Amino acid sequence: MIETEGMTGADTLLRVLSHMGVDRIFSSPGSEWAPVWEAFAKAKAQSEGVPLYISSRHEEVAVGMASGYAKSTGKLSAVMIHTTVGALHATMALRGALHEQVPMVVFTGESLGFGEEAGPDVGAQWLGALADIGGPARLVDRCVKWSYGVNAKSLLPATIQRACQLAMATPKGPVFVSLPMEYLFDKMTKNAVAENVPIPAPMADPAAIEELAALLAGAKNPVIITEEAGRDPGVVEKLVELAEILGAGVVESRASSYVNFPRTHPLHAGFEPQEFLQEADVIVLLGVIAPWHPASKKLNAGTKVAVLSDNPLRSELPYWGYPVNQILTGQIEGSMKHLLEAVKKRIAKGNADAARRADVWRGRYEKRKATWKEEVLARKEQKPIDTRWVTHELAQVIPADAIVVEETITHRLSIHRYLDMLKPGTFFAGCLGGLGTGTGTALGVKAAFPKRPVLCLIGDGAFNYDPGLAALGVCQEHNLPIMIVLFNNYGYHSQKSGVPRFFPDGFAVKNQDFIGISINPSPDYAMIARAFDGYGEKVEEPGEVRAALQRGLKAIAGGQMSLIDIRLAKAAETNERPDRAN
């Protein structure tokens, strides 16, 4: 039991979070948190261990930091944001965390009495400016896994504890709790019911795993497709062993948010699952959201599709529609361990059929890598600078222990291709559908690993959506020096790509008049970095890219954030297909 009876609600919040394993609270301040700030000061004065409070200056940065921290450590973190208005700021980032199954517990304040109750007056702003029917929990309930407004002080301790448990329960995700300011001041009448206990993750049905193992053992050309296996590096290790026993190719999608399979392994089959749909007789979808498009795309007659995930049918999506024959619901790592053992019983290591398949995949891998190298070297002197050259040059200088966060959208495929040295647990996407959390995610990773170099690769469009000033302020205030590499194409390439696709003979294409895609004239982003005591540099020559990146890396090694603004071909003037559409 966690003793909270007789404590204030604010003291209770910090005590329960600490007992539930939360060691970081990322916050965008709101006026309702005065009692909690007093509780922090009290805990510090009395040397009581409480989570570390990190102020972030903006709700999207706070949620992004919680996301980056969770992705890179696997730990639960908490977020404190302002009431209704702050909750609305945070919803885009919360929606991303929901779809990515990133655990965090998010708190806002609210008022139930509007100054009419006994005790401290919460202030006129609650009735005049901050109140909505149903409160903040109602406003965000579609963007989180679970949302609740505490409506009795006796429930507050257990509700905080339950929120932490729900966030970490399979499938993981963000949960939301609004805490009335009146209760933060008031004394609690109950204790939280229990200490932090492990939450067991269910494994897929053993009989179904055995059935899948038999299917794979009899397959002539099995293919594994994954987008999220790399959330847990331990899963990747088992996936490598499984693929080698089967001689199966492993394909990641362009949208992969992690390193799901070593990109230097000869069984890595690239980032285009649709290339192999017609030849595979067994397809395993391992931790996927949308592996190909459209979902109803026809496969060969007789092809069997199995999906293994803790959320296989993606219950948060309105439509999924993939033609699966077998659904295995369970935590991936434990299920993969059982699947690997079951396959080993059926296929001996060094099996001749598996070896022949592996040789075919190796040949494809080597040809693909040679093509990519040829493509990039052909552009080493191209001006304006090409995205592929930027990622190639970054690959030559990136430290071995670096962690990369990406929010580029249309440049992600080049990052996947040329930063192939990145290992599982060292790459995280900073967006899903919406933009605005890349810098926050990178800062969350840096908060988790302060001694490792952290790079945020971001497009100029995404950077304009991110709360850039707030993020750079966090770098400065909390000594979290990250390196921002800005892929600057003066606009939104992903938005332009639809016009020639849908209207190839239209007025926009004929007159090269593309509406709504421009960020031009482009500001001097490097100067913004210098305003926060950072290092900033603008790069326009392809031959200067590597040296500029090295100077940026030197700056963060010395404790100074850096921003390298690399000027690419303007989105409005290039006809190349973007790496990935929105």
- pLDDT (tens digit per residue) in 71-86: 999 999 999 999 999 9
pLDDT for res 257: 93
- Work out the angle at residue 143's Cα, subtended by the Cα atoms of residues 142 and 149, and round it to the nearest 5 degrees: 75
Mean pLDDT, range 258-267, rounded to an integer: 97
SS3 at position 270 = coil
Reported pTM: 0.94
546-556 confidence digits (pLDDT tens): 999 999 999 99
pLDDT for res 582: 28
| Pairing relationship of beta strands 174-180 and 104-110 according to DSSP bridges | parallel
pLDDT for res 89: 94
Is 405 within 8 Å of 431 (Cβ atoms)?
Answer: no
DSSP, res 213: H
Mean pLDDT, range 287-292, rounded to an integer: 94
Residue partners of 314: CB distance under 8 A and separation at least 6: 289, 320
Q: Higher confidence at residue 125 or residue 540? A: 540
- Helices of type H across 378-429: 387-397, 412-418
Instruction: Return d(Cα 170, Cα 167) in angstroms, integer.
Output: 8
Mean pLDDT, range 38-50, rounded to an integer: 91
Residue 64 phi/psi, 5° resolution? -60, -40
Closest by CA to 216, choosing from 357, 319, 103, is 357
Beta strand segments in 133-191, E: 146-149, 174-180
Mean pLDDT, range 452-473, rounded to an integer: 96
> Residue 196 pLDDT more than 90?
no
Q: How far is CA 151 from the centre of its chain?
A: 32
pLDDT for res 127: 86
- Token pair, residue 481, equals 């020096």
Closest by CA to 271, choosing from 18, 579, 540, 521, is 579
| Pairing relationship of beta strands 282-286 and 222-226 according to DSSP bridges | parallel
Query: What rounded mean pLDDT belongs to the chain?
Result: 93
> Residue 577 pLDDT more than 70?
no
pLDDT for res 287: 94
pLDDT for res 152: 94
> Residue 519 pLDDT more than 90?
no
Closest by CA to 86, choosing from 382, 578, 467, 469, is 467
pLDDT for res 576: 56
Residue 10, CA distances (Å) to 182, 186, 230, 294 in order: 10, 8, 37, 49
> Which amino acid is located at 482 in the chain?
I
Is 188 within 8 Å of 153 (Cβ atoms)?
Answer: yes
> Residue 97 pLDDT more than 90?
yes
> Residue 296 pLDDT more than 60?
yes
> Residue 195 pLDDT more than 60?
yes
> Residue 516 pLDDT more than 80?
no
Mean pLDDT, range 356-368, rounded to an integer: 97
Min mean pLDDT across 137-141, 239-243, 431-435, 446-450 is at 431-435
Cis, bond preceding 578 (omega within 30 deg of 0): no
Closest by CA to 474, choosing from 453, 445, 452, 451, is 445
> Residue 581 pLDDT more than 60?
no
Confidence of residue 580 (pLDDT cuts 50, 70, 90): very low
Residue in this structure with the two tokens 């030849």, named with its chain if needed: 279
The 10 Å Cβ neighbour count of residue 198 is: 6
SS3 at position 35 = helix
Mean pLDDT, range 176-185, rounded to an integer: 96
Instruction: Return d(Cα 264, Cα 181) in angstroms, integer.
Output: 54
DSSP, res 374: H
> Residue 443 pLDDT more than 70?
yes
The 10 Å Cβ neighbour count of residue 571 is: 27
Confidence of residue 198 (pLDDT cuts 50, 70, 90): confident
Instruction: Return d(Cα 507, Cα 500) in angstroms, integer.
Output: 10
- Token pair, residue 194, equals 């229990």
Instruction: Return d(Cα 546, Cα 543) in angstroms, integer.
Output: 7
pLDDT for res 508: 84
Cis, bond preceding 206 (omega within 30 deg of 0): no
pLDDT for res 574: 65
Instruction: Return d(Cα 123, Cα 130) in angstroms, integer.
Output: 11
What domains sit in the chain, N to C, each tagged with a CATH number?
9-185 (3.40.50.970), 206-368 (3.40.50.1220), 379-567 (3.40.50.970)
Cis, bond preceding 51 (omega within 30 deg of 0): no
